[in-house]
Structure 1
Amino acid sequence: MSDYDEDDVDYLGGSDEDDGFDSPDTGDDDHDYVTRTFAVKEEAKKELEYESLNPERILQIIEGDAQKVVNISGLELGICQILCRVNRWNTEHLLDKYMDSPGSTLATIGDRWSASQDCYAPPPSKRVRRNQPAEFVCDICCMTPDEGETFKPRCGHEFCKDCWGYYLDTKVTEGECLIKCMGEACKVVLVDSDVKANCSEKSWRLYQKLISQMFVKSNSHLRFCPFPECDQAVSCRDVSESSLNTLVPTVYCVNEHPFCFGCGMDCDHRPVICKVAAIWLRSAKEDSGTSQWLKANTRPCPKCKQMIEKNGGCNRIMCQNCKHQFCWVCKADWSSHGYNNSTCNAFKESDKADYELEAGSKLERWLHYFDRYNNHELSARLDEQLYERTEEKIVEVQKASGLSWIQAQFMKNAVVELTQCRTTLKWTYSMAFYMKAGNSKEMFEDIQADLEKSVEDLSQMLEIEIEDINVAELRQKMIDKTVYVRKRRDIVLEDTAKGLQDGRWEWMIALD
């Protein structure tokens, strides 16, 4: 268990006001910078600016924040590093606290302030105050280490390096980056140089990673790329919680992994906003099988309309609410129905009550949108598999046409565009499900249908056998269709983004 509470902080959970964090220094340092632009209005384009940060760059920013505290407070760098960590790198708040009460601020990391000398003073240790024995014995392992094989931090608690190494490796493995001294009841937090000098190289790398993770989670303008094995983060100051009802902030790390800076979803879920996307995914997870199960296993009582679940094989059902008994199959009163099943073996459409028709209509509507969402998700995965197979087709194209390798890349470009378009299409169905009916929705569905048709046309082209057609003709047609598909996708994204900005879309659910 960590000595400090390091709960994850969702970076958009706070207020929209300045949170006290210093913006990353983007001077002349060697770092990766990426800017993506998407249209939100015809007359102007809103540019979402962000910076892709590698691990080294993150550590540079962390070091820069600590150095600022050093310059103002006059404290040692190591002390400032752990003070920044304890205060979640809110340097303005930290310096205000330190100027008001240096003693209480230093006490948070086990240090003290010398009021008589008006300066920082390391805490004295009990071992320092008593007479030193002729031969040092480590209090942890009760062994006498060789000369020079001991270490004591600024508190003066001395132990052998083997015990320090084991202790630090264990703490780092447990996920701690604010590690206290091993001394009994000692509250001194070890500075980074102490940790580096006594832990293994593997633990030191993990220690730095833990610091970086804590820094990113503490800063509302930073988010890690969610893709597995990717160590990049993105810094973006253009996104606030209040903007997420009118903006879908898709960003790309330097490795070209798309993700949403607003909710952290590991994909480009445009055009649907974060809140609607989250509600859709939750419903898809919970309701994809539940709706069908409820339809098959529950009935409303014909008398009081209370929903009843059938939990046995007998069709004689008694409502626990009003005690009415009826047949599960035809809902006839059991007093007249009895066990004569011949009276209910024929389906009568007129027997369906209005609320049952409404429930069936709702289920049918859900399945309409969910099936299309699911179909495009599956097709996108199949297109990704097709992307892996296009290398073979490219070789076929080169053999059949004499095209160069670069000229033959038109097929890969088509697959990439196809995958992106299917991802966009699947999210348009989740958006449409929650949109209120009206002219705006009809126009939305028109441009959605145009994109869907062009996507299917391009997908069909990729299935054509190379030997059956003229390669040069196929190449030109596929390039033209790829460009057309890209334009249709741009239209969908631009129109929906403009609709979000203008407040054109009306939702069937509350977004507050």
Structure 2
Amino acid sequence: MDDYWCSDDDYNCSDQGSIDEEYNDEGFNDDELDIGSPVTTYNGPTALVITRESLVAVQKEDLRRVMEMLSLREHHARVLLIHHRWDVEKLFAEYVEKGKSAMFTEAGVTCYEFEPGSNSDPSFSSSSVSCEICIEDVPINEITRMDCGHSFCNDCWTSHFIVKINDGQSKHIRCMAHKCNAICDESVVRNLLYKEHTGTAEKFDRFLIESYIEDNKRVKWCPSVPHCGNAIRVDDQEDELCEVECCCGLQFCFGCSSEAHSPCSCLMWEIWSNKCKDESATVNWITAHTKPCPKCSKPVEKNGGCNLVSCVCGQPFCWLCGAATGRDHTWSTITGHSCGRYQPQEKIAELAKQKLYRYIHYHDRYKAHTDSLKLESKLKETMQDKVDVLEERNMNDSNAPLRDYSWVVKDGLTRLFRSRRVLCHSYPFAYFMFGGEMFNELMSEEEREIKQNLFEDQQQQLEANIERLSKFLEERFDRFENDKVMEIRNQVTNLSIVVDNLCQKMFECIENDLLGSLHHHHHRIAPYRSKGIERASKLSACSS
């Protein structure tokens, strides 16, 4: 956690190889094309970027709300917020439901009323007090009493604080007294530590500030590497399942902090990513050096000269043709077996390697569209030059439609990048949805086949229109006559609408007809946003 505020020089840069490093969904930054962005009707979560400077400000705002509502000191408000994971609305709801006393006791907030002259009263007349921890008489001015009423010497308190902070318990340092659940006053902790242990005191302060991010389900660190030092807050109390873009340019899934991957669920994407890393390096070797068992389909490697091989399941088979055989054999023959009388090797291999080939089928299409996406991202580098040439050529032309060509191009690129990304991740989704063991028990073979055909038909329609849109955007329209430019403009406009509608329908199909019909809550997906992933707005730091 200490590294989050380090500079970029403190990290070793690494190539993550993600799509997000090559482009972003919006196609252009707002200042790359001097036009207004199309208005989006998306009403999902509002994302804010919390920088190091603004972190204290947003934390103070939540503290202020609780302090004013419940008439509390800042220390007690912070203890309650940390206990409720900085969810102010949940805190207020529990206050109404449980009452002040029960909620305070559960969170460790205690305000002790001591009797004047008692040993807990720091104003009693004795010049020294015996500390119950170290059993030594200590001057009264070196005794500290907490809100809970327990008093111990400053040295014992300091040692207790240092141990707890080094153990990572600085957000919940409880009183030393036996069975006391009270949280120690942060101002007391800070004052005692800053006398001789400045480094530990600063660590304590940093833990308190960063608890707003570490404990808050609506706030997450940006997963950029090297770390940009920002955190993202999603202001949606109901559902934090969404995809956001940090001001550093990284786009990621707020649910799992990996790269944006809808329409894959977080679980699907995690398994797919690990599968790609594990299998991509071995697929060629397995295909070239093994043959599938005709009984269990597991790949078997031949480790001897005999053509009779045996699988771990116990099934013997002929290495030459792949057919199941008996066990008796010589160097030249196998009892009861002749390769000419059995099914050809190609048919057996096709059935046996079905799982492997199925993975390769979906992986190849996923990778092909990922590569296309990276190549298409270069369009924005040349698009502005072509738009500038066209606008200069038509500067004195009164033909209004040509003047908004840059707007059409930007909108077309936005839809192209967004829809290509959806198409890329639809293949991992289909891999898990229509095969394997993830949904086997939830769908019959007939139902799976029907749904797969419908989904693949949507994929094909989306792919065809994406390719057409990409082709028109790659045209050198700055060299064409006005009539041809108008034709391309109309095609880009129409295709942008078509691919957006197809993406919307694909998400509706997944949410309602596929995952929704199975009532599978572990595979929820981030909602579709036609204008691209939401770019978080930067929260300005303000004085507390």
Q: Same fold (TM over 0.5)?
A: yes
Number of the residue aligned with 2:344? 351
1:52 touches 1:234 (CA, 8 Å); kept in 2?
yes
CA change 1:477–1:251 in 2 (3 A) is: farther
Q: CA deviation at 1:114?
A: 3.6
Q: CA deviation at 1:423?
A: 0.3
What are the Cα deviations for residues 268-290 of structure 1, in whole angstroms up to 9, with x where unaligned?
513x4445444544444444455
Q: How does 1:255-274 map to 2 (within 5 A)?
A: 259-267=252-260, 269-270=262-263, 272-274=264-266
Q: CA deviation at 1:378?
A: 1.6
Q: Which has the higher contact order (CA 8 A, sep 6+)?
A: 2
Q: Counterparts of 1:213 and 1:125 in 2: how far apart (Å)?
A: 41
Number of the residue aligned with 1:448? 459
Number of the residue aligned with 2:427? 429
Number of the residue aligned with 2:513? 503
2:369 to 363, 376, 393: 376
Q: In structure 1, list runs of 5 or more residues that go unmatched.
A: 3-34, 39-46, 137-150, 241-247
2:386 touches 2:476 (CA, 8 Å); kept in 1?
no
1:368 corresponds to which letter in structure 2? H
Q: Counterparts of 1:348 and 1:381 in 2: how far apart (Å)?
A: 51
Q: CA deviation at 1:367?
A: 2.5
Q: CA deviation at 1:459?
A: 2.5
1:373 touches 1:430 (CA, 8 Å); kept in 2?
yes
Q: Counterparts of 2:361 and 2:327 in 1: how far apart (Å)?
A: 37
- What is the DSSP-based 3-state SS (H/G/I as helix, E as strand, rest coil) of the residue aligned with 1:178? helix
CA change 1:473–1:483 in 2 (3 A) is: same
Number of the residue aligned with 2:416? 418
Aligned residues between the structures: 430
Identity %: 17
2:467 corresponds to which letter in structure 1? E
- What is the DSSP-based 3-state SS (H/G/I as helix, E as strand, rest coil) of the residue aligned with 2:260? coil
1:364 corresponds to which letter in structure 2? Y
Q: CA deviation at 1:411?
A: 4.8
Of 452-461 and 346-355, more deviation after overlay is shown by: 346-355
1:224 touches 1:234 (CA, 8 Å); kept in 2?
no
Q: Counterparts of 1:485 and 1:362 in 2: how far apart (Å)?
A: 36
Q: CA deviation at 1:178?
A: 2.0
1:252 touches 1:258 (CA, 8 Å); kept in 2?
yes
Q: How does 1:49-88 map to 2 (within 5 A)?
A: 49-50=45-46, 52=48, 54=50, 62-63=59-60, 65-67=62-64, 70=67, 75-88=72-85
Q: CA deviation at 1:99?
A: 0.8
- What is the DSSP-based 3-state SS (H/G/I as helix, E as strand, rest coil) of the residue aligned with 1:239? coil
Q: Counterparts of 1:115 and 1:380 in 2: how far apart (Å)?
A: 70
2:486 to 476, 495, 505: 476
Q: How does 1:86-97 map to 2 (within 5 A)?
A: 86-89=83-86, 91=91, 93=94, 96=98
2:300 to 297, 303, 309: 309
CA change 1:48–1:363 in 2 (3 A) is: same
- Say yes or no: does 1:493 pair with 2:489: no
1:225 touches 1:231 (CA, 8 Å); kept in 2?
yes
Number of the residue aligned with 1:22? none
1:232 corresponds to which letter in structure 2? I
2:373 corresponds to which letter in structure 1? A
Q: Counterparts of 1:501 and 1:480 in 2: how far apart (Å)?
A: 32
TM-score (norm 2): 0.58
Q: How does 1:250-289 map to 2 (within 5 A)?
A: 250=243, 259-267=252-260, 269-270=262-263, 272-289=264-281
Q: How does 1:174-323 map to 2 (within 5 A)?
A: 178=171, 180=173, 189=184, 191=186, 195=190, 198=194, 206-207=206-207, 209-216=209-216, 219=217, 221-222=218-219, 226=223, 229=228, 230-239=230-239, 249-250=242-243, 259-267=252-260, 269-270=262-263, 272-289=264-281, 292-299=284-291, 307=298, 309-310=300-301, 312=303, 314-316=305-307, 318-319=309-310
Q: How does 1:133-148 map to 2 (within 5 A)?
A: none
Q: In structure 2, list runs of 5 or more residues that go unmatched.
A: 3-38, 123-128, 397-401, 435-446, 523-544
Q: CA deviation at 1:422?
A: 0.9
Of 326-335 and 260-269, more deviation after overlay is shown by: 326-335
2:290 touches 2:300 (CA, 8 Å); kept in 1?
yes
Q: Counterparts of 1:415 and 1:125 in 2: how far apart (Å)?
A: 76
1:53 touches 1:234 (CA, 8 Å); kept in 2?
no
TM-score (norm 1): 0.61
Number of the residue aligned with 2:36? none
1:400 touches 1:471 (CA, 8 Å); kept in 2?
no
CA change 1:400–1:70 in 2 (3 A) is: closer
1:251 touches 1:258 (CA, 8 Å); kept in 2?
yes
2:186 corresponds to which letter in structure 1? V
